[in-house]
Amino acid sequence: MTEVKREVFGQMPQEEGGGVVEKFVLKSDSVKVEILSLGCIIAALEMKGRDGEFSDVVLGFDTLEGYTRKHPFFGTIVGRVANRIAKGRFTIDGKEYQLFLNNGPNSLHGGARGFDKVLWSPQVLRNGVCFFRLSPDGEEGYPGDLKVWVTYTLSGGELAINYRAQTSKTTPINLTNHAYFNLAGQGSPDIYDHEISIEADSYLPVDDTKIPTGEVAAVLGTSFDLRQPVELGKHLEKFHLDGFDHNFCLQQAQARHLAARVRHPPTGRAMEVHTTQPGIQFYTGNNLDSSLKGKGAIAYPKHSAFCLETQNWPDAINKPHFPNALLQPGDEYNHTTWLVFNVA
């Protein structure tokens, strides 16, 4: 059985439109998740270790103030389009759209005020919570009124995140959750002792602004071959890598498929990521630099967390040979990601 509780988390500042931010606590016998109505943020996720003790494995803040200030999308839903769009430009039916540039020459994670920075309308479910919002035509430069539903449900050790959307005009869409994990417990200094594997035969090389070059490259014989588990610290050292921030190409099937596994041998904590999406962005917290104080006023240094963002391939709107990024009126965008937490 999953227990669902709701409580007030805080009040948005007037300059951000005011409004009450609620926190929803989903609790099973093995996992406890806290989710905010601001940005559908996963603010905490507690899971058991081998010792039977619960530990929070998600980076974030203790108070609303942390989330209303600038931060690197801790736990948020990002959209309309997660990841990067080259030069913030795309063309639909001969019409060019220009987005706000918030990542060097590119647009990242929905723009200046994406889905991560707005209040959503919640509805409590038997085993979770569903958030809804209407993104109006022209918001952040995107076409069409977009209705979006994000539903979190918890069953035992499995947290499912379902994304649905409908549009009034053809629009690009790519929704994901941007939680930062450290299975040793948030606030632990690094993720070097984590073992990771990703079910991908190919990945997308990127240019120096992190936009895919268009090549779909085989992982075989490269540092991107994570098909067998690697210990992250040793792997980064072996290949002289600064970290990962790349899309790995998964099987393009609408059915649920395994995308990645992570294990933390010292505590026995493990997680699996399953999805219906064709890609997953593996990011090792390369831009964390101890300047942000998180929960318990702990600084978050470089490589102190990883993200596994299930997604369509970055810049797919400008790459015709990438999976389709457009949602048409009358169709429904519908994807699910399952995060499975256990002790191994």
CA distances from 292 to 35, 163, 185, 284 (A): 21, 29, 17, 16
* pLDDT of 306: 98
From CA 289, how far away is CA 269, in angstroms rounded? 25
CA distances from 193 to 131, 266, 269, 301 (A): 35, 8, 12, 15
* pLDDT of 215: 98
Q: Is 321 annotated as a binding residue?
A: no
Q: Give me the mean pLDDT over the 151-173 stretch.
A: 98
* pLDDT of 177: 98
Q: Is 257 annotated as a binding residue?
A: no
Which tokens go with 58? 């998600």
* pLDDT of 64: 97
Among 40, 45, 67, smallest CA distance to 56 is for: 45
* pLDDT of 103: 87
Beta-carbon neighbour count of residue 121 at 10 Å? 11
* pLDDT of 69: 93
Q: Give me the mean pLDDT over the 174-191 stretch.
A: 98
Q: Is 83 annotated as a binding residue?
A: yes
* pLDDT of 128: 98
* pLDDT of 45: 98
User: What are 2-40's pLDDT values in tens digits?
Assistant: 999 999 999 999 888 889 999 999 999 999 999 999 999
Q: Confidence class of residue 107 from pLDDT cuts 50, 70 and 90?
A: very high
* pLDDT of 254: 84
3-class SS shares of the chain: helix, strand, coil, % to 5 = 10, 45, 50
* pLDDT of 16: 83
Residue 291: which domain range? 3-343
Provide the domain count of the chain: 1
| H or E, element range at 19 | none
Q: Give me the mean pLDDT over the 104-116 stretch.
A: 92
Q: Give me the mean pLDDT over the 192-221 stretch.
A: 97
User: What are 40-94's pLDDT values in tens digits?
Assistant: 999 999 999 999 999 999 999 999 999 999 999 999 999 999 999 999 999 999 9
Which residues are identified as catalytic? 178, 309
* pLDDT of 15: 86
Q: Give me the mean pLDDT over the 260-277 stretch.
A: 98
* pLDDT of 32: 98
Q: Confidence class of residue 253 from pLDDT cuts 50, 70 and 90?
A: confident
Q: Confidence class of residue 330 from pLDDT cuts 50, 70 and 90?
A: very high
pLDDT at 221 over 90: yes
Q: Answer whether 79's CB lies under 8 Å from 41's CB.
A: no
The domain that holds 111 is classified in CATH as 2.70.98.10
* pLDDT of 39: 98
Q: Give me the mean pLDDT over the 147-169 stretch.
A: 98
- The average confidence (pLDDT) of the chain is 97
What is this structure's pTM?
A: 0.97
Q: Is 179 annotated as a binding residue?
A: yes
Termini Cα distance of the chain: 23
The more confidently predicted of residues 154 and 344 is 154
